[in-house]
Amino acid sequence: MHRVVIVGGGAGGLELATKLGKTLGRGGRAKITLIDANLTHIWKPLLHEVAAGSLDAANDELSYLAQAKWNHFEFIYGRMTGLDRRRHIIQLAGWKGLYAPDDVPPTEVRYDTLVMAVGSVCNDFGTPGVREHCIFLDSRHDAERLRREMLERRLAAVAEGRSHKLRVAVIGGGATGVELSAELCDANRKLAQYHHQRGPLEDLDITLIEAGPRLLPALPEQIGLSVEKELRNKLGIRVLTGTAVKRVETGCLFDAQGNKIDADMMVWAAGIRAPEFLHDLDGLESNHINQLLVRSTLQTTRDEDIFALGDCASCPLGDGAVGNTPPRAQAAHQQAELLAKNIALRLEGKPLLDFQYHDHGSLVSLASYNTFGSLLGNRVIEGWVAHFFYASLYRMHQSALYGRWRTTRLMIGGFIAKNTRPLLKLH
């Protein structure tokens, strides 16, 4: 039986495994295996909400094992460390659990078709001190660490009866940095209600730092300017554009002009790169940010048996357009849909389809304050209309994994449970 191995259970990888399991796996045409170093999945665009405490990851995470059972594929818990293209084998690291008495030794998994879908991580661009002093937002663990640290600082101040201004610097004025800054402000306002304060807590000072001339450079200029105005005037966030961070130290960072910006906590959300292990992975071609170079069929340039999708792939836009597909959730979704078709065609010995990216627009949420976006044709929207489309993005992802009826039931259950839970995760 043909063995399809997918490494990475992010948005694209999990959607692909689900689609292939329902078609090839259920029909016994292929064995579908998903490998990930986590046991559960949470949609990465929601991590800023997890970090602020406005979303409890335990309620929204998906179990890989359960999804595999429901959709006729196999799940293996493990972290990929190497590749042997000649033998069609990937290598997984050994591991030891907290309670299991025996170590799990390094293992090998055979494949006939391999799909790399390992996503991306924050790019520190080699800036001194970033790795040592900044928090990243690459995983649920990172988001929970940020949330927990902010909560503990607040609880300590309340317990000691002191007033302490918490200074948070967010580096990166893209969608992640902007949404995180707004979400932290909103969470701070909600947290005040649990300390019997009428207005927002005045002890949170957020500075949003962007190296470019404006926020949200990937979106129309009108949106970037509107968002900056909203952050400054309504949320009280200090916005610094044209400010490149050159060095980070304990409790502060320095820009290119040597100006010092003090901060108790620093979050790095500037740029992305693919995981380091992809660089020159058994001779596969990669670029300067470790992305695997792929053809229009999503096959890697040096091995037709290996595909890549999502943030870890450097993929042409298609249809003669100049440039590469942007690292967005909608791109991973579109590539997963095409790859599900291409793998089926591959098993039948038929020519593969070419990928063509369709930009359906971009949206950015400022928590409960406002939502901005652009749809097809760069039509700018804001307010409740933009918020509706923003919320629908996650529902589309859920529908791809659960189906429409189960997603509807999840929405109803979430609405009912909302009135029985705190506004924030407080533990």
All domains in the chain, ordered by first residue: 2-120+274-347 (3.50.50.60), 130-272+363-418 (3.50.50.60)
Residue 296 near residue 316, CB atoms below 8 Å: yes
pLDDT at residue 196, as a whole number: 59
Q: Residue 360: pLDDT above 80?
A: yes
Residue 311 near residue 335, CB atoms below 8 Å: no
Q: What is the pLDDT of residues 328-351, one digit of tens each?
A: 999 999 999 999 999 999 999 999
Please report, rounded to a whole number, the percentage of residues in the chain having pLDDT higher than 90.
75
Q: Residue 375: pLDDT above 50?
A: yes
Q: Residue 199: pLDDT above 50?
A: no
Least confident of 190-204, 269-283, 305-319: 190-204
Q: What is the pLDDT of residues 121-134, one digit of tens each?
A: 999 999 999 999 99
> Phi-psi bin for 425: left (phi > 0), alpha (psi -120 to 50), beta?
beta
Neighbours of 190 (CB within 10 A): 19
CA 422 to chain centre: 25
Q: Residue 200: pLDDT above 50?
A: no
Helix then strand count (H, E) for the chain reads 11, 25
Q: Residue 55: pLDDT above 80?
A: yes
H helices of 56-174, where?
A: 57-60, 64-71, 130-133, 140-159
pLDDT at residue 216, as a whole number: 94
Residue 348 contacts by C-beta under 8 Å, 6 or more apart in sequence? none
pLDDT at residue 101, as a whole number: 74
The confidence band for 274, taking pLDDT boundaries of 50, 70 and 90, is: very high
One-letter amino acid at 310 equals G
Please report, rounded to a whole number, the percentage of residues in the chain having pLDDT higher than 70.
97
Q: Quote the mean pLDDT of the chain.
A: 91
Rounded to whole angstroms, the Cα distance separating 384 from 380 reads 13
Helix, strand, coil % in the chain, rounded to nearest 5: 35, 25, 40
Q: Residue 39: pLDDT above 80?
A: yes
Q: What is the pLDDT of residues 218-255, one digit of tens each?
A: 888 999 999 999 999 999 999 999 999 999 999 999 99
Q: Residue 186: pLDDT above 80?
A: yes
Q: Residue 174: pLDDT above 90?
A: yes
